[in-house]
Amino acid sequence: INRGGMGVVYEANKLGSEVTVALKMLRHRFIYDTPIQTRFDQEAKLLEGLSHPNIVSLLDHFLAFRTRFLVLDLCDGADLFRVLRVRGPLDEATVRAVLGQVAQGVLYLHQSGVIHRDIKPGNVLVDRSGRVRLADFGLSKLLESEVPEGKAVGTPSYMPPEQFRSASVGPESDWYAIGCLMYEMLTGRILFPAESWNRLFDRKRQSKPSDQWPQLDASRELREMIVGAIQPKMKDRRLDLEKISRWAEDVDWLFAH
């Protein structure tokens, strides 16, 4: 049902049960790649310690067929990338309702000492009941064990400048990604389209968000939130996740015909 850089996700049933789950398998070409295996195992370890309605739940993990598997609860809807591709830009009421749920999940992560580091439309799941859940914790970091890894990880279009440099990340790094996500939901366009690594890094660190940029048709409140979230320097960023979390509503109408 999905493919990512490290794994393939299948819809599956446990033998003797009618419960349907998502089964995430580490690709076989990584079975001798220790850093990738460590990252996959880290996702299982992180998810074991997390429990929140707006975060995908880990049901089990195991070794089989010479690789690793995670058993996750299944989202019967779609990720936000697919929703935007089908529906185009979302109205502001829907954006606020989705953002509220995302903010609740991210607040819980940060309070648990976890930075997601890869918030993007493809990692935001929306099920048919309208519940939003954050997925894919393979790049997440525990704050207390923050150690620069020597190379940048993440999705460049949504990464803040410090993540390009493999510098220390913090809650502000997730704020930046949420700002990019907000813009994309409102416009249907990626704020920083993919280009060469160095050119994209230069664009991000040299950008000067203001009332004039980025331009979009939205309330002043949302525009100011985006401008505050995508400031190139961590110390200049601001985003009130507590306030945004109060906007949370189910968005089951996204799947209405």
- Strand locations in the chain, DSSP E? 2-3, 7-13, 20-26, 58-64, 67-73, 78-79, 114-115, 124-126, 132-134, 141-142
Rounded to 5°, angle at Cα 122 from 73 and 51: 35
Identity of the amino acid at 161: P
Identity of the amino acid at 180: C
Distance between CA atoms of residues 174 and 80, nearest Å: 17
Tokens of 226: 């985006």
Q: Give Cα separations from 80 to 70, 174, 195, 197 (angstroms).
A: 22, 17, 22, 24
Provide the b/e sequence for 219-251 (b: ≥16 CB within 10 Å): eeebbebbbbbbbbebeebebebeebbebbeeb
Out of 33, 60, 91, 118, which one is annotated catalytic? 118
Helical segments of 55-122, H only: 80-87, 92-111
Q: How far is CA 254 from the centre of its chain?
A: 19
User: Which residues fall within 8 angstroms of residue 129, CB to CB, at 6 or more apart?
Assistant: 250, 252
Q: Residues 128, 165: contact at Cβ < 8 Å?
A: no
Q: Tell me, yes or no, if 118 is annotated catalytic.
A: yes
Identity of the amino acid at 143: L
User: Which residues are marked as active site?
Assistant: 118
